[in-house]
Amino acid sequence: MNGTDGDLPAPIPFHRPDVDEAEIEAVVETLRSGWLTTGPRVREFERRFAEEVGAPHAVAVNSGTAALHLALATLELGPGDEVLVPTMTFAATGEVVCYFGARPVLVDSEPETLNLDPGELADRVTDRTRAVIPVHFGGHPCAMDEIMQLAAEHGLAVIEDAAHGLPAAYRGRPVGSIGDFTCFSFYATKALTTGEGGMLTTADEEAAETARMLSLHGISKDAWKRYTAEGSWYYEIVRTGYKYNLTDVAAAIGLVQLDKLEAGRRRRAAIAARYSAGLADLPGARLPVSLGHVEHAWHLYPLRLPEDVDRDRFIRRMKEAGVQTSVHFIPLHLHPFYRETFGYEAGDFPVARRAYERSVSLPLFPGMRDDEVDRVVETVRRLVSS
């Protein structure tokens, strides 16, 4: 660099959403159409999304959390029931279980992918266990064969938290077509964004109809159908419902974003490969892996730092050097709510805790340029060895 201290290169954000004129035009067109809430664009988005992930049914909702909540609601979960949840996840995966007064039974990570460890699942199943929620951490699909087999043996529902897993595949099968339910998030930082939004996919037509009904106040669609001839004012509330429907404005963004998914995935994979090539020989560091039988969505690039590096100081110095990073995740069992409510202790899940203490997620988004990736690599290398 020439020049003064003021000439530092522009900071590299942790994420930059991939939104351009096409999304803006789609929103404007929707606003002009006069149809703002759930309507034709939502139905089209559901149809095309289902096709994309090979799912027979898709129900659009206004968050990934809502998708998880509705999947559990179709099971009519109740107080005293238990649901297996990885400790290495975001708040949403555990809290939806608590909505029912049920108990999230936490499970440690498997050290390589940091996904829920299938070897630990069997030990935690009781006669109150109703479901398991595997989270495809960072975009790496979980060990679905093992999970599905255990679920079949014990009669558990498999609800995948695929907030990071789009588009991804496990042994040639797209995530969205494997478990009983798959829940996607369209939050601003996710691979497909509608600002806020989510999708529930399933092969179970009845469950899809129930979820759809619950997403709009528990109002029966059959009642609508039955009485539309006489007048569209009639409806019947058949269960406690929620207000989880997606808007046509959001779906219009989602339809444009769907077309970008594959290019986005390729770019993410290329950035991850560039990181891994640049950091491969960093002594003591552990890089994220992609096992041979999966197609990784590369939502995150969680680097595990060498033992002698002070992680928190490293993050501060990265920021000072113009590189924004993040940490995924603070395991659920370390949070006060989980410790106080369910009696978890810091030492309970050593793999997840250790990974959390060493982890820093590097910027990774399709609009990131190669020179930005290289600058992140150089900055990491410099700060790790000083």
CA 105/CA 309 separation, integer angstroms? 32
Q: CB–CB of 275/376 below 8 Å?
A: yes
Map the footprint of ligand PLP across residues 156-185, applying CB under 6 A: 161, 163-164, 185
Nearer to ligand PLP, 75 or 166 (CB): 166
Nearest-approach distance from CB 179 to ligand PLP, in angstroms: 15
Enzyme catalytic residues: 190
Give yes or no for a contact between 102 and 130, defined as CB atoms under 8 angstroms apart: yes
> What CA–CA distance (Å, rounded) separates 97 from 87?
13
Q: Binding of ligand PLP at residue 90 (CB under 6 A)?
A: yes
Distance CA 146, CA 277 (A): 31
Nearer to ligand PLP, 136 or 260 (CB): 136
356 binds ligand PLP, rule: CB under 6 A? no
Nearest approach in angstroms of CB 139 to ligand PLP is: 10
Binding to ligand PLP, residues 191-210 (CB under 6 A)? 198
**Number of chain residues interacting with ligand PLP (CB under 6 A):** 14
DSSP string, 238-293: -S---B-BPPHHHHHHHHHHHTTHHHHHHHHHHHHHHHHHHHTT-TT-B-----TT
Of 72-80, 90-98, 203-211, 224-232: span binding ligand PLP (CB under 6 A): 90-98
List the interface residues with ligand PLP, window 65-84 (CB under 6 A): 65
109 binds ligand PLP (CB under 6 A): no
80 in Cβ contact with 128 (< 8 Å): yes
Binding status of residue 92 toward ligand PLP by CB under 6 A: yes
Q: Is 301 in the site for ligand PLP (CB under 6 A)?
A: no
Which of 7-15, 21-29, 60-68, 262-270 is the region at the interface with ligand PLP (rule: CB under 6 A)? 60-68
- Token couple for 337: 């709510």
Q: Looking only at Cα atoms, what is the longest distance across the chain?
A: 77
The rounded distance, in Å, linking the Cα atoms of 199 and 68 is 9
Taking the complex as a whole, the smallest distance from the CB of residue 69 to ligand PLP amounts, in Å, to 9
User: Whole-number minimum distance, CB 152 to ligand PLP, in Å?
Assistant: 24
Find out whether 54 and 173 touch, Cβ atoms under 8 Å: yes
- The footprint of ligand PLP (CB under 6 A) covers 63-65, 89-90, 92-93, 135, 161, 163-164, 185, 187, 198
